[in-house]
Amino acid sequence: MRNFLIIFSLFFYGLNLQAQKPTEINYGDNPKAGNYFNNRGFKMYYEVYGSGEPLLIIHGNGGSIKDFSNQIPYFSKNYKVILADSRAQGKSLDPNDSLSYEMMTDDFNGLLEHLNIKSCYVIGWSDGGINGLLLAIRHPDKVKKLAVTGANLTPDESAVDPFIYKWAKSLNDSINKLPITPEIKKDRKLLHLLSYEPHISKEDLQKIQCPVLVIGGDHDVIRTEHTMLIANSIPKSYLWILPNSGHSTPIVYKDLFNETVNDFFVKPYRKIEGLDRLR
């Protein structure tokens, strides 16, 4: 089953994946920047780079800190960049049976509390985008501005490409028939997220107080109309659909992604109404 999950992850994240250049720093396994802390029943692994305004970056399902090797060098020049392996992923081993986006979101809130960070900028990719939205909903004081790419609100074909959605459900059904081992237990939790969560309403999004940049690829596994729905449901939102891109916008358009997100962070939110839209 491990091979199936690896294949799924490569397909899910790599629709337009370009090779990443090796870096001198081993992001995601860097003893100089990494630490563990006991967080709500498991040991959470995290790394911190740079100095300045705090910026939390959250990876997607089955990913890890190393997924942001294109973002860390750029943002750490001007921000205190905080990254962690989400519960039951990467180096954050979790012996517990259940896993939900709400649990992971509260884990990140716990990490920020541990680091004495009252509020920060946030970037979230895929499941990390879902966590970012929930962090702004559940812990609004923690998020100054939020950029999410490839996030969804519901686990159905209105949000996710039908082929990917059915494939995830099929994998989930298959893994539930296998004998339980530690690896199978972990994979079950991650596939359950893809098949049966999240459940975020438009009313929940309307509670978000901070400005949000909502990003998607025009060939993303998340339907473009669903990404538009997310942006339209958040009071202070901008929408950015990248052409000729799948789910891997932080990799395919790494330089433009970094520059645009940073520009969103540093500039004040401006509400555009009426005739201003035509200027």
Express each pLDDT in 4-54 by its tens digit.
Answer: 454 445 445 544 444 455 568 999 999 999 999 999 999 999 999 999 999
* pLDDT tens profile 209-250: 999 999 999 999 999 999 999 999 999 999 999 999 999 999
The pLDDT of 134-147, averaged and rounded, is: 98
Q: What is the mean pLDDT of residues 125-140?
A: 98
Amino acid at 252: V
Q: Does 253 score more than 50 pLDDT?
A: yes
C-alpha gyration radius of the chain: 18
What confidence category does residue 1 fall into, taking pLDDT thresholds of 50, 70 and 90? Answer: very low
For the chain, which domains are there? Answer: 2-267 (3.40.50.1820)
User: One-letter amino acid identity for 177?
Assistant: K
Tell me: pLDDT of 3 over 80. Answer: no
**pLDDT per position as a tens digit, 180-200:** 777 788 888 999 898 999 999
What letter represents residue 150's amino acid? G
- Residue labelled with tokens 């920020």: 112
pLDDT of res. 177: 79
Are 113 and 56 in contact, with CB atoms under 8 Å apart?
Answer: no
Q: From the centroid of its chain, how far is CA 194?
A: 13
Q: Does position 124 have pLDDT exceeding 60, yes or no?
A: yes
Q: Is the pLDDT of residue 90 over 50?
A: yes
Q: What is the pLDDT of residue 270?
A: 84
Enumerate residues 6+ apart whose C-beta is below 8 A from 132.
58, 122, 123, 124, 143, 146, 147, 148, 151
pLDDT (0 to 100) of residue 242: 97
Calculate the average pLDDT of the chain.
90
Q: Are 240 and 217 in contact (CB under 8 A)?
A: no
pLDDT of 30 reads: 97
What is d(CA 158, CA 153) in angstroms, rounded to the nearest whole number?
Answer: 10
Minimal CA–CA distance to 64: which of 47, 81, 49?
47
**pLDDT of 201 higher than 50:** yes
Q: Which residues contact 244 (CB under 8 A, 6 or more apart)?
A: 16, 217, 218, 219
- Among candidates 227, 171, 248, which has minimal Cα distance to 15? 248
Per-residue confidence (pLDDT) for residue 4, from 0 to 100 = 45
The confidence score (pLDDT) of residue 185 equals: 80
CA 251 to CA 248: how far, in whole Å? 6
The answer to whether 244 and 218 are in contact (CB under 8 A) is yes
Contact 191, 167 (CB under 8 A): no
